[in-house]
Structure 1
């Protein structure tokens, strides 16, 4: 239960910190942090939680990561569903706190999407569904390769959180204009629950693509890393 609780609070922080930066700070007049700031916010949530709870739960914070680690031989399948449940619940809790904060400002509206992920007319720069699908698959695949490589026992010890956090930052720097960057079904679900409408209708892509990407990443890393 402590592992599941760690995943809950870790994903809570990821959504509150990452999506919170997008909702509260990205477009703040004159002092807004912009895409770069949001990208670093997501990376920092993972970096800080990796050091805080990595030794408790492994700090997955992401159903796709849990699936990829299972396929990579790093995580038992018996814990997969409880981990995913804890991640989704923690993400929704983080989005709920963010909603309470954001709605305290006069004129607040969910019409802006509440940091939801989307494609076509709901892509930040109007990228197609195919572009969004490819982006999420490839970005999640690379994220899994980074995670599996950085946590390999042959890699330099103690630096994995930095590589993983900066890897997520880079992923956001590339893909925020395309889909608002998911690579994490729990993160996408959390804010879509509050945004409703189109965000829920397009949510399927942000489960399917990251999971496909995680599967590919796990197999790619096993192929390039295993000794014959």
Structure 2
């Protein structure tokens, strides 16, 4: 079963310096039907104005992934990590037993846009951790995060994997889903055909009780999506 959630149906919060679209319930946006999916709890599509950002705040027992679409994040945390995260890079911060951090738009003139993703861990009270990597823009499936950090992927504290899908025009990919697993697709760029459904940028789809799903680019533009393989 494939259930599509269109971009325009997401929650929204606009504070002037921040314009955020919420796939799942977050902050003042609440929808009992969209509290998350499996271990996936948050996908926020954030646009941060030049020179603005999130002041120092805390998290615990959450796996927090940032994927920069435009601009640069300036990151600083209580573990001593001071990093710049440019467009195209993934960051995984394991909050563990507790961490404080701030995130700012590194430009004085241009907007920052990034996806803020929260995944609930299956280990609690552990030491905080920080990882950051650019996985490139190769066509096909590129694995970004895995439970064991294999093959240079980011290591996440959950039985979940994150994949980057890039399809050239006129190409397709058959994604196999193991029995008992769930798949969530977040469309980043272009139009992706998911079985008989179509996803545009900002759309999402829950894939449940399926052994495989055909992902196809029938358009004339490149397609980018994130695939979450979940328990």
Q: Same fold (TM over 0.5)?
A: no
Give the TM-score, by structure 2 length.
Answer: 0.24
Higher share of residues assigned helix:
1
Give the TM-score, by structure 1 length.
Answer: 0.25
